[in-house]
Structures are given as C-alpha cells and as structure tokens.
Chains A and B, each alone.
Chain A
Amino acid sequence: MTSDRPDPVILSALGLIVVIGLMAVFSASQAVEGDPVFLKQLAWAAVGVFFLVLGTRLSLRWIEEFAYPFYGLALLLLLVTDFAGSGPAGRWLALGPIRFQASEVAKVAILAAASRAFADLSSRPRRFGVFFVYAGIIPAIVLTWLQPDLGTAGATILMLLFMTWWAGYGPGWIFLLVSPVFAALSSISLIYWLAFTAMIVLLLLRRKAPAMLWVVVLTVNTLVAAFTPVVWGLLRPYQQARLTTFLDPAADPHGAGWNVIQSEVAIGSGGLWGQGFLHGSQKGLAFLPARHTDFVFSVWAEEMGFAGSLLLLAAFGVLILRLVWIASRCENSFTSLIASGCAAYFAMHLAVNVGMTLGIMPVTGIPLVLVSYGGSHMVTAMFVVGLGLNAGMNWRVI
C-alpha cells in the first residue's frame, strides 16, 4: 500500500456520514426558529474539508516532532477555559470572534502526544514507561472532566486505553491501569474486594512482575479500596445523592432521564423504514431539547428507520475498520499509533453517543462527531480523519 492518494474507501464513508449529518441537522433544525442552524453547519463542513486536507498534507514527522509542545499548548488552553470559559457550562474559549472548545484541541493533542510517547517506548523501552505516559496524559483528561465535560473525558480515556493496547501492552496491563477504579468499586463488600485482590495477585504472579510493581499496584489499590467507604461515609446523604447524580445524570428525572425516554420513543417509532425524511413526529421532536446536537442520531433514526440507522452505522464501521487496516499496514510505530488512535476516536464517540440515545450508555453531553451540529468537533473530527488518511499515504516511506 504505497498510494500517494488518500484512501478512497475512507473518503466515501466520510462523505456519506457528513451528508447524512447535514440531512439530520437540516431536519432537526426545522423546529429551531430564527437561528440558521443548517447554513452554519454547512459552513462548518466546508471549514472541516479544509482541515481534512490540512490533516493529509501536514508532515507526520513534523507532528511527531512537535507533539509535546502541542500537548503543552492544549493543557494551557484547557486551564484557561477552566478559569475563564464562557458559553453553556463554561466549556467555550473565545478567541476574538472565534469560539471553540479547548477539549477538542486537547483530544488531538492527546492523540499526537500518546502516539509519540508509545512510539518512543517501543524503540527505547523503559521500566514502567506506560505509567509515565499515563501520568503525563491524565492532567489533560482531568481538566477536560472539570470543564465539565464528563463524556469527552471518558471517550478520551477509552481512546487512550485502545492505543495502549495497540502499542503492545496487552489486556493485563490495561487491567492494571484501570484497577484503581475496580478497587473503589470492590470496596462495596469484603468478598468483592478479596476476589479483586486475588485477581491482581494472580495477574502479577503470572507476569513475574518485579517487586517494585507489586508494591506500587498493591499499595495504590489497597489505599483506594480502604478509603473509598471512609470518604463515602463522611458524606451526608444529600451529598452522596449529588455525587451519584453527577456520575449518573440519567438518575435526574427532570433532565437527562427525560431526554433518554423521548429519544427511545423517537427511535423506536422509526420502525424499519422510518417516518420519512422531514416527517418525524413534530411532537416527538419537541420533546428533544438537544435534537440537533447530542440527540441528532434519534432524529435520523426516527425519520429513516432501522434501514437508515444501519446505513449510518455501516458507514462509521467502514471508516473505523479501514483505519485499523491502515494502522496494521504502517511500518512506522508513530503513524501506526496515529491511525489506530483515529479509529478508536471514532469508535468511542460512536459507542458513547449512539449508546446514550439508545438508552444503553450513561447520559453525558457528547456529540456524534461528523453528524451533530457544532463547529469545534466537526473541524477536529475532519482533521483526525485527515491524519488517519495521511498515515496511509506513502510519504511514511523515507
């Protein structure tokens, strides 16, 4: 595969997704009065094409070179947004007339920095290198979470875990990395905790882990497990309730839970062939406050039915699997990681957003990239596709 032209399969899938997105936004925006949502989205798609081309034209070697400074800049932007952000939920950063979400920039920066770090580790292995990578990336994810943008933070962590796996750290490593979360959950009962600790010990034994790793993993997990109930017990019931609402917004019957029900009704009523383009139930639409953004998939599924939804899922599937295929063919570690990260980026957004509209994932404010209304993620996603295409093009051969 030494074509110097962008992969036509990916371009076709991308084109289909963007057209479906524009159609869905057009339909959803019928109920939005005054705001020219569709025209804006069209303009953003045009800007996105520019970034797509940019992504394919930039030298990946150059991106590898400047991955860390770029990541530092993204951290700075996140910090500024946390303290001086504006717009809904304070996630926006205004730069003159342009407003954008720093968390979108951060996603690309994390993709580049993690690829660089894992690529370096593969050529110059270091003890506990993977932990250093995570220590470096976690700040950006925490800042994203604080935006507050729980959905994006979650999708980014998942992307990072997939990249870790791609870099050669198998499921055992992944399990160790996420083990503190399980430690906190296992503190519910002694039996869970014993089972969890036994699993950790077995894993470490099987891998003949060095003493240092034993100490670190067991200490961290025991501390987390020991203090979770203590901290939880210190909270008053209303504080606990707030925390669970924060972690699981669907538990809030006024907001998120309501949206999911209406989303399920809208999607379900689509049936096999849908209610017809622009013929989604007006009442159904009125129920969905975020119908042209986070719940845009519900609009498409209602109007185009199971057939239309499958078409969109298939297009994403082709895009994602083709990116994995490209990643598998790259000889250079960095470009391979970039392409695999791009695939994970789209897979995770698809799973979290569509899963939410289908009522099988928690409600987090995360858009369906390339489809939902919104400039920041459209531009970012197009750029990410561009990077993926770039990885598959021949200038990786020196």
Chain B
Amino acid sequence: MTVRFGTRKPSGRPVAGFFIIYVLIIAGLAARLFHLQILRGDYFREISAQNHIRIVMNPAPRGLIRDRNGEVLVDNVPSFRISIVPSEFSTVDLPLVAGLSGLAPDSLSSLIEIASSRPYRPFPIRTGLSVEEVSAIAENLYRLGGVVIDVVPQRRYICGPEFCHVIGYVGLATSEESYEGQVSGRSGLELSLDQRLSGEPGYRREVVDALGKVVEEYEGGGEVSPRPGEDITLTIDLGLQRLATEVLALEGVPGAAVVIDYSSGEILCLASSPVFDMGRIASGVAGAEWDSICSDPQRPLLSRAWAARYPPGSVFKPVTALYLLQSGSIDGSYRPDPCFGSYHLGGRDFGCWTVHGRLDVVGALAQSCDVFFYRTIQLGSLDGLAAFARGFGLGSRLMGGILPGECRGLVPSSALLDSLYGDGGWGLGNLLNVSIGQGELLVTPLQMACIAGVIASGGAMPSPMLVKDSDISEPPWADLDLPVEAVALVTEGMREAVAGDHGTLRSLGELPWEFFGKSGTAESSAGDHAWVIGFVREPRPLAIAVVVEHGGHGGAVAAPIVSRILQGYLGGGG
C-alpha cells in the first residue's frame, strides 16, 4: 500500500524508531567514552601527568612573484628558526641560550616575557638563520629544555632594490589572529596582495617530555601540511625596470619613470629613485640601518611613481588643449593674439618662457607657449577644465588599492578654491595657472603616463594593470569620447615638439623611431621639477612619463632619461 505524497494523513508515531535512535546516540557517546577512558586511559593519563602537547606551526611558503617574462623576482629559501617554549624553558639556561643564539640576555628575557602569555606554544626568538648560525645551539639542544629548532621558508628577494617599492617587503605579522613568527606583507604588493600570497600554515602536534624533548608525534591528530600561497605574475619587465632605475639613479636626485603598453594597459615599468634594499629589511635590519633609511633626506621609502604628487607644469597642456578643442572653444586654425613673452592680467604679469609670436594649437604645444593657453582658456571655465581633467583619471586612484599609498593627486574646482581662499577670494589668475599645469593642480607620474597612453590610443587604452590576469575594470577615461580631429591636432603638436624646428624636445629627434612628447618644467618653491611625457607607436605601443624632482628644465634633464630608457629597452643602442 502506498500513500500519495500530496495530501496525506500522517501514519502512526514512530515510537520504536525514536527509542532506537536515541539509545544509539547515547550508546555511541558511551562507546567513545569507553574508548578514551578505559581502552586508552593509561595513554591519556600519562600525557596528562606531563601535559605537554604542543602545536608546532609550519608556515606556508608565500607565493612566488614573477615578472612578465616569467623571471622569478621573489621566492623562498629554507632557513632555520630558534623558538622557545616558555613553559618548558628554565631561566637557569637563559644566559647560555642567549650566548649561543647571539642575543643579548636582556632582549632574550624580554622576548620570553612576551611569549609567556601562551606558555605552551613555541615562540620564535631568532629567524632567518643559516646552518652555521644554529649549529652552536643545535649541539647543546640535548641539555636545553624548551628550545626548538626548525626549518621555515624565508622570503628571498632575488630581484634587486629596483623592485623595493612595487613589491615591497614582509615582516613579522602583528595582528591579533596571527601566530608567533607569522610573516605578512608590510608594503607594496606584499601588503596589498598579502591574502593571496600568504597561503595557509600547517601544523603538527607533538608530545614532549618534562625537558621539552619531543617524545613522539601525538597519536590522536594528524599533521596538516601548509598550503602554499598563490604565485603572482607582474606585467612589469624586469630588464626595463632595472634599466629605468639605473638611469634615474645616475641623476643623483629623486625621480620616477613609468612605462605603459597603451594597447593593453600593462604597466611595464614603475621605477622610483632612490631605492632601498628590501631584502635586508625583510630579514630584520639592525635599528641603526632602519633609522638611516627613514631619516635619509631623499626619502627612499617613498615611491615617487605613485605615492608622490607633483605639479605637472607644461605636460598638462595637452589636456588643456584637448579640453578646448573638444568643447569647440578653438579649432586647429584658431590663432589668438600673439605672445609677447608675458600676459598682463589684473595688475599682474603671467610670464611665458620666451617670446613666441602668433601660434596655433599645434605650435603652442610644440613650443610650449604659456600665453596661448592664458588667452584661450578664458573661452572655457575652471570647472569645465577640472571635470575634463578628472575624466583622464586625475584626482583619483587608478590602481584600485593594489598599490599601497597611491596618491589621488588634486584637481582644483571652484568649490575647492572657494574653500581654500574664501568665496570669491580667487579669480581668473587661478584658472590661467591651472591651464598650464601650475597652481593647485597635483598629479602622480603614473597618472601622467596614463594620459600619454590615452592620447596615443585616442582614448582606447584599457585600465592600467600591474598583475597579470587581474580583473579588468572600466578605466576612468572610458566616457571621455575624444574627437578624432582633436586627438590628431594634439598628437601633431606633440610630434612637432620633437621634430619641429622650435620644438622643446628636439633632442629626442635623434631617436630611431617617431617620438611624440611634451616637456614640462613645473615650478616649485624648492626648485623646478623636470617632466617629459610621451609615446612611441613603433616598434611597440609605449607611453612614458618621467619626472626628476627639483631637476630643473624638462627638455634638458628629463628628455635624456627618456631617450636612454627607450633606446635601452627597444634596442636602439645607447
């Protein structure tokens, strides 16, 4: 007899079923109790008498980091670690252990103080040691209770310091959940991608005797092996990154160079100078060395490629020109009143760097005439220019948190100027300054390289990418919708700057490929910043931005750097 499923009258109560299941549950618990207390009672009583089971953490190797060509930049090597189990450690041994492990007795006793909060867990006192460094203590291990030596993977920075900012470094984790001796990222991608890189640690349980010597593995629980972290491949080219860092270092003053493949958005180079040795920081530098890095007036810890902001100066002019062309305020044939070397407004002279005479937009870009932009920008508005500049990603972070400390930069709007100077406390002069990349405007070299790429691609460049296979988001300039003629005029101006008779980047005319560029000499109270941005279409679609902090004239200082980087990378000699 079957009962239909839809509407059914419940059958009799399953009294017997309930009785059987409940009896089985209780019998199961009793059976397990019998197993633990009667069959294995002696074993557990013995363990309990000493009660020395300890969990030894087995750190996971962090993921490898490779450059775009598969070259390994960062890997892990086995290293030795000395740990103390406070509950098993006798303070009588303290001076001996301190001597053998190369620690001052005072610092060892303060470490044990910290470790005592979890008395049964091994607490690392020295890490990253070689065989020679642990041999002294290993020979005496038989008479030292509560001292553990084991092998753990240690981060090794194969790449040189040219990756100190991008990759960053690791240090001992400080968060609440971390176990003693856990390593986590402190800066750069090691920090922002820490979760992907770090993996999951394994552990094993050991039964130890009163002296802390391992008697056996714990019978009840298996060993869990660590799960290695995820490997990561960068879009950076090791050779280019190294070359750019070296070229920048030759200047002796701080600077940055960014190179992007504007067809794919892949960042090939994110160099900043000066650099520091992150391998030494990761393995625990002495206090004095750390202090000297921190107090260096050139601030090597600062990544100038994305975490510093500079006024752009004249390299901003292509943006102003595109704004005017797109809004229809000017066209290619528009020639305002000539440049006589300065522009007079409201009792103040806004200077130009030379006398240019009458120019169209191509000539103004090529010769970097300020007066052209002073005159024409008055056909537009500050907020219009600001909104347009933001459309290029200025004033916002481009990398979505993957680069720790990435600066937004600053794009002044009338609201901002109102808040800075009071309502109406500013005037047309501020607009004139912004139009030539001065005033309150601040940008990062990464942003400027993207602008060069956006112009080169006519607005089609994808979002900048630093890690291969990362999620691609819509770039900020997706909605710009640049008119083809406007881009053509600005591109022509940037080509004329290199190839024209009066261009500001004539020195780059010697390059074996057509270079499109714009120089900038951004005024700053401590000395002008030298800028060049630009791009080549052949042999590869590359956009580049170089800044030299307080370097002086862009055409004179930054242009040779661009030349050396491009020739070195693309193989044009030099």
Contact = CB atoms under 8 A, between A and B. Distances in A.
A125 B9 contact: yes
B175 interface: no
A208 B2 contact: yes
B4 A351 contact: no
B333 interface: no
B36 A268 contact: yes
B141 interface: no
B136 interface: no
Contacts of B186: none
B205 A241 contact: no
B421 interface: no
B22 A321 contact: yes
Contacts of A360: 28, 32
Contact of B18 (A127, A162, A309, A350): A162
B419 interface: no
A340 interface: yes
A269 B41 contact: yes
B424 to A, nearest CB: 47
B38 interface: yes
Given A208-B5, A267-B33, A306-B33, A340 B25 contact: no
A interface bracket (residues with beta carbon within 8 Å of B): 35 or more
B203 A272 contact: no
A313 B23 CA distance: 11
Contacts of A213: 5-6
Interface in B516-560: none
A359 interface: yes
B34 interface: yes
Interface string A355-396: 100111000000000000000000000000000000000000
Contacts of A128: 6
Contact of B13 (A209, A284, A320, A336): A336
B19 A324 contact: yes
A328 B33 CA distance: 31
Contact of A236 (B22, B42, B120, B230): B230
Nearest to B10: A168
A122 B9 contact: yes
A227 interface: no
A340 B13 CA distance: 10
Contacts of A284: 48, 51
Interface stretch (A39-47, A53-61, A140-148, A253-261): A253-261
Interface in B1-38: 2-15, 17-19, 21-23, 25-26, 28-30, 32-34, 36-38
Interface stretch (B220-228, B358-366, B403-411, B491-499): B220-228
B48 A265 contact: yes
Nearest to A244: B200
A313 B26 contact: yes
B interface bracket (residues with beta carbon within 8 Å of A): 35 or more
A324 B55 CA distance: 44
Interface in A95-141: 121-122, 125-128
Interface in A211-232: 212-213
Interface in B35-69: 36-38, 40-45, 47-49, 51, 53, 55, 57
A317 interface: yes
B174 to A, nearest CB: 16
A208 B41 CA distance: 53
Contact of B22 (A126, A207, A301, A343): A343
B299 interface: no
A347 interface: yes
Contact of B11 (A170, A265, A309): A170
A269 B47 contact: yes
Nearest to A281: B48
Contacts of B335: none
A125 B7 contact: yes
A86 to B, nearest CB: 20
A206 to B, nearest CB: 7
B126 interface: no
A153 interface: no
B431 to A, nearest CB: 47
B164 to A, nearest CB: 25
Contact of A340 (B7, B18, B53, B227): B18
Contact of A241 (B28, B221, B227): B227
Contact of B44 (A122, A265, A336): A265
A133 to B, nearest CB: 12
A264 interface: yes
B46 to A, nearest CB: 8
A269 B45 contact: yes
A21 interface: no
B53 A271 contact: no
A7 B3 CA distance: 37
Given A213-B6, A283-B51, A351 B15 contact: no
Contacts of A167: 10
Interface of B: 2-15, 17-19, 21-23, 25-26, 28-30, 32-34, 36-38, 40-45, 47-49, 51, 53, 55, 57, 120, 177, 179, 195-196, 198-201, 203, 205, 218, 220-221, 224, 227, 230
Given A168-B11, A306-B33, 16 more contacts: A162-B18, A236-B195, A237-B196, A237-B199, A261-B221, A265-B44, A268-B43, A269-B45, A271-B41, A271-B45, A283-B51, A309-B37, A317-B22, A321-B19, A359-B32, A360-B32
20 contacts: A168-B8, A168-B9, A168-B11, A213-B5, A236-B230, A237-B196, A237-B230, A241-B200, A257-B55, A268-B36, A269-B44, A269-B48, A284-B48, A305-B37, A309-B37, A324-B15, A327-B13, A327-B15, A328-B13, A347-B21
Q: Which 4 pairs, one residue from A and one from B, show the smallest C-beta to C-beta distance?
A: A168-B10, A268-B44, A269-B48, A283-B51
Interface of A: 121-122, 125-128, 162, 165-170, 206-210, 212-213, 236-238, 241, 251, 253-254, 257-258, 261-262, 264-272, 281, 283-284, 287, 301, 305-306, 309-310, 313, 316-317, 320-321, 324, 327-328, 336, 340, 343, 347, 350-351, 354-355, 358-360
